[in-house]
Amino acid sequence: DIQMTQSPSSLSASVGDRVTITCRASQSISRYVNWYQQKPGKAPKLLIYEASSLQSGVPSRFSGSGSGTDFTLTISSLQPEDFATYYCQQSYSSPRATFGQGTKLEIK
Amino acid sequence: QVQLVQSGAEVKKPGASVTVSCKASGYTFSDYYMHWVRQAPGQGLEWMGRVNPKSGYTNYAQKFQGRVTMTRDTSISTAYMELTRLRSDDTAVYYCARRFNYGSGTYSFDSWGQGTLVTVSS
């Protein structure tokens, strides 16, 4: 099974900060990574697919990069509504999907 | 617009079974695989399995083999997930999620149900 390891597990930042979350796969998975945002009590929401493609309707301050085993999600200028938990997910192996353990982004 | 609406919260005793439904609208139900993902309190996301709405064929995570059954009723665009022999550690929010395929061969979960809390307690 492909394991996905996110870092950090939690992060404190301020409005306006630039934030980067990383995700490492246990084997090469090309660009087959998706990123989701989850707010308390809500379902996950797709932000980025195929490592760097922005889902329709998602603000352009979100961006993704990477290939192989190392991937990043960057928020260029944090907004109050961005404080949430973020998950990466590999879509290389099918049908089994695996997620990272999550990164909780909190207000400093 | 695509919508997945799940059934309401459930409270079950250990050893019982639960069935969660997921009604789809806004797209052709049989064209997209439906997956189920669960999230224990304060924990991350765990993939449980999927159902092919066209054929009914299923794939399950090994962890749930023998306890989970995923089905669908195409006449009402609804997917179901039944989990049997419930234990306290099955307490979680259960989500259905639509798999969207991209031309490159990859996929994502582009639409999710609102989640169904299943509480297992004696």
Q: Which residue has the higher pLDDT, A93 or A35?
A: A35
Using the predicted structure, report yes or no on whether residue A65 has a pLDDT greater than 90. yes
Q: How far is B122 from chain A (nearest CA, A)?
A: 24
A106: which DSSP letter? E
* DSSP-derived 3-state class of residue A98: strand
Q: Cβ separation of B104 and A50 shorter than 8 Å?
A: yes
Q: How far is B14 from chain A (nearest CA, A)?
A: 25
- Strand pairing partners for B97? B35, B112
Those of residues 24-83 in B touching chain A at CB distance below 8 A are: 33, 35, 37, 44-47, 49-50, 59, 61
Neighbours of A51 (CB within 10 A): 24
**Interval A13-41 mean pLDDT:** 97
> pLDDT tens for residues B66-77?
999 999 999 999
Nearest to A44 among B45, B47, B61 (CB): B45
Instruction: Give the amino acid at B33.
Output: Y
Q: Cβ separation of A99 and B46 shorter than 8 Å?
A: yes
Cβ–Cβ contact A34 with B under 8 A: yes
Q: Cβ separation of A96 and B114 shorter than 8 Å?
A: no
* DSSP-derived 3-state class of residue A107: strand
Measured distance CA(A20)–CA(A16) in Å, rounded: 13
> pLDDT tens for residues B54-67?
999 999 999 999 99
Q: How far is A53 from chain B (nearest CA, A)?
A: 11
Structure confidence at residue B103 (pLDDT): 86
Q: What is the DSSP string of A16-82?
A: T--EEEEEEESS--TT-EEEEEE-TTS--EEEEETTTEEPTT--TTEEEEEETTEEEEEESS--GGG
Phi, psi dihedral angles at A71 (to 5 degrees):
-135, 150
Instruction: Give the amino acid at A32.
Output: Y
Cβ–Cβ contact A22 with B under 8 A: no
The total number of residues written for chain B in this structure: 122
Q: What is the residue whose two structure tokens read 């929401």?
A: A45
Q: Cβ separation of A91 and B107 shorter than 8 Å?
A: yes
Q: How far is B32 from chain A (nearest CA, A)?
A: 13
Report the chain A residue with the minimal C-alpha distance to residue B109. A46
Average pLDDT, chain B: 97
Cβ–Cβ contact B110 with A under 8 A: yes
Q: What is the DSSP string of chain B?
A: --EEEEPPPEEE-TT--EEEEEEEESS-GGGS-EEEEEE-TT---EEEEEE-TTT--EEE-GGGTTTEEEEEEGGGTEEEEEE-S--GGG-EEEEEEEEEE-TTS-EEEEEE---EEEEE--
Query: Mutate which of B109, B111, B112, B116 to test chain A, going by most A C-beta atoms within 10 A?
Result: B109
Structure confidence at residue B30 (pLDDT): 96
> pLDDT tens for residues A39-56?
999 999 999 999 999 999
